[in-house]
Structure 1
Amino acid sequence: MPMPENAFSPLPFDITEKAFSLPVTHSTLAAQGVLSLVRTVYPFLEAAGCTLIRMGWNDTYRITTTTNSIYMVRIYGVDRHTLSAIQYELDLLLHLAQLGVSVSLPIARPDGLLITPISVPEGRRYVVLFTAAPGRVPEPFPLGNAEQSIYFGQSLAMLHTAADTFDSTHERPALDLRYLLDRSLAQLQPFLKQRIDDWDYLLDIANEIRMCFADPIGNHLDWGPIHGDAFSANATLAGDRVTWFDFDLCGPGWRVFDLAGAYGSAMGQDRTDEERQQVWLSFLEGYREKRQVTEETLAFIPTMHMLLLVYFMAVNLEKGPLYGFQWFGSDAYFDAHFKELRSLPFEMSKIE
């Protein structure tokens, strides 16, 4: 049956002639535009090509020069970090490199500045050029096998030791219990309103974690600048040389947080239980060669591992506005995370 001609009220304007102005969450810059920017800001680069490597909170582009040198361009997302927090990150990288830690280094412009602001539809973003990390991320990432993981342990210990003397006039949020736990619970709660059992379980976990930190041991854990996401394939290996990159989640924190990341990565490898244990023990051996680890710190790893999983379950939800919520925040997303959480003990009679 045909619709009557007056079934819908006419629009007050011709929609074919009106352009709507809508807010933008995250724009993707054309590689050719990034190439043009880099060649303008860094005239010493004879850039030949630019490729978008990774999209996310920040976008990363690879620059290849006419002489086949490779650089990486990071374009920080709007509201991802304050300008001061980005400067803290870059200060830390320069400090670590000065003390012999291999990192992907920020490169200064001819005027000595490291950061270039740009205007995009969603606001202001910041651009930094970095050296490329040599080598490759081993498989299974990020620790490889037991022969390779020892180098990651040695290098992380060197990173922590070098960071002991780091100081910056710029501010970066501390990765303390308020940030890692309380902030995470606030982010997770809206997504778990229909998953009451999971939310109650999460609150029980949170209480257990707080109790562990209330213990005197929790008050005397090694504290200082950490990578914060060291074992999400954020380091390459070339021979015995480990190079760290992507310090987007760095800040003042407990060193055992980075160690728990290594432990979780080793135990998460698609290997036999014995092989996974060998990877972890090799990493720990390497770390202990360069830096002391107390038995109290080792005993705290299961608690910190639990906190790490809660934190990353929450922080990854921030990718939803970028990639959509078909996966992030879905039942499948939480099913996978809570399955892993429920499989972990708070205590480990022996982790080595």
Structure 2
Amino acid sequence: MTDSKNNDPDLVSTHTTAATHSVARWVARHHGFEVQQCHLIRRGLNDNYALRSADGTRYVARLYSIRPRGGFNVDFEVALLAHLAAKGVGVAAPVVAADGRAHIQLQFPEGLRALALFHHAEGTTPDTLDEYELTGRTLANIHEAARDYAGPPSRYTLDGHHLAGRTLGYLESHPEVDAALFDTYRRLVHELVDELAAAEQGLTRVVCHGDTHGFNNHVNTDESGARRAVFFDFDDAGPGFLAYDLSVLPWSYMFRKNLKEPDDALRERWTHYLHGYRAGGGEVSERDAAALPLFVQLRHLWNLGEAAGRLHHWGTNSVPLDWLRKQLEVFEAWKRLDLRA
């Protein structure tokens, strides 16, 4: 009979899901308020929990997962959000711990993980054309307000290496990827990174949200009756290219719908999104617009790499071999995208 009090040295945890009552206790201890309700929203790139305090205020606690890309970017994320919130931009503001820390560190079986608390973003994901326009306008506000950010630097620069180069290392560790398929992806990555290097001098640079696919912001009606968009999940934020931050929305739609070119619904949403971005003061140059197909492909490589880098957590089913082969046709089709609007 096994003694449950002793840990088996051969039993190694790669990812632990914390019980909701543990998260509630940690938040109460470190943030100094009573938590009445707590439930797990989702597990994924990070583990997110919804909380409600005794006075009814809603929060989201993010328990950061250990990523192969390196240390947590939480100091930058929290400081950037505080900067944006202070300027009145629609973001889910962070809630620092009672002792002033941006986050707390917790020892899990797999290693240290960070826990940060944010205000809940009321509302729902954009659905109507007006809501997509409002989303674009708010993204422009974020880019403008972040220009004078001077807090802790981001651990990530959203460049060719971050978006595509890391993916090669993750694919090389995939147990089912053979030499021929890996070499095909190696050539693809090098071609796209070289294309970016040739174009980047003429591209607009911003502090990117990094994950603006339309599900990381909510639209709500505030107390004055005005409609507003609120962005959250800035854990992939960092300095990068405007064309990348814009490209994530059409990429997400085409990826989810398994499309090789935009359909009418996407074109309508995209037109309103860009109109909102420009109405909010954002400028999209001809070079930025011309680079959008490149960044749609780079985004796809980044997303592929995020899954391939978590084989220990998600398994090979998240990036199956047949799917990897089929994506080569998608990359080829997306080279010819027309996203000008």
Q: TM-score band (shorter)? A: 0.7 to 0.9
Deviation of 1:133 (Å): 0.5
Deviation of 1:71 (Å): 0.7
Deviation of 1:56 (Å): 2.4
- Which amino acid in the other structure matches residue 158 of structure 2? L
Distance 1:165 1:194, change over 3 A: same
Deviation of 1:206 (Å): 2.8
Partner of 1:11: none
Partner of 1:205: 188
1:300 paired residue among 280, 291, 298: 291
- Which amino acid in the other structure matches residue 331 of structure 1? L
Tell me the distance in 1 between the aligned counterparts of 2:77 and 2:255.
28
Identity in percent: 26
Distance 1:33 1:220, change over 3 A: same
Matched, 1:228 2:217: no
Distance 1:79 1:259, change over 3 A: closer
2:61 paired residue among 66, 73, 78: 73
Structure 1, unaligned runs of 5 or more = 1-13, 139-143
Tell me the distance in 2 between the aligned counterparts of 1:199 and 1:101.
43
Partner of 1:342: 332
Give the match's secondary structure for 2:60. strand
Q: Which has the larger radius of gyration?
A: 1
Deviation of 1:65 (Å): 2.4
Tell me the distance in 1 between the aligned counterparts of 2:179 and 2:328.
11
Q: Is the 8 A contact 1:306 1:346 kept in 2?
A: no
How many residue pairs were aligned? Answer: 328
Tell me the distance in 1 between the aligned counterparts of 2:331 and 2:236.
22
Matched, 1:279 2:283: no
Tell me the distance in 2 between the aligned counterparts of 1:312 and 1:96.
26
Distance 1:166 1:48, change over 3 A: same
1:160 paired residue among 121, 126, 143: 143
Q: Please, what TM-score do these two structures have when normalized by structure 2?
A: 0.87
- Which amino acid in the other structure matches residue 289 of structure 2? L
Partner of 1:37: 26
Tell me the distance in 2 between the aligned counterparts of 1:347 and 1:28.
40
Deviation of 1:260 (Å): 0.8
- Which amino acid in the other structure matches residue 71 of structure 2? T
Deviation of 1:181 (Å): 2.0
Deviation of 1:286 (Å): 0.7
What are the Cα deviations for residues 98-126 of structure 1, in whole angstroms up to 9, with x where unaligned? 22211111112222222112222222222
Q: Is the 8 A contact 1:257 1:308 kept in 2?
A: yes
Give the match's secondary structure for 2:94. coil
Structure 2, unaligned runs of 5 or more = 222-226
Deviation of 1:16 (Å): 6.7
Matched, 1:328 2:318: yes
Tell me the distance in 1 between the aligned counterparts of 2:282 and 2:7.
61
- Which amino acid in the other structure matches residue 221 of structure 1? L
Tell me the distance in 1 between the aligned counterparts of 2:168 and 2:314.
22
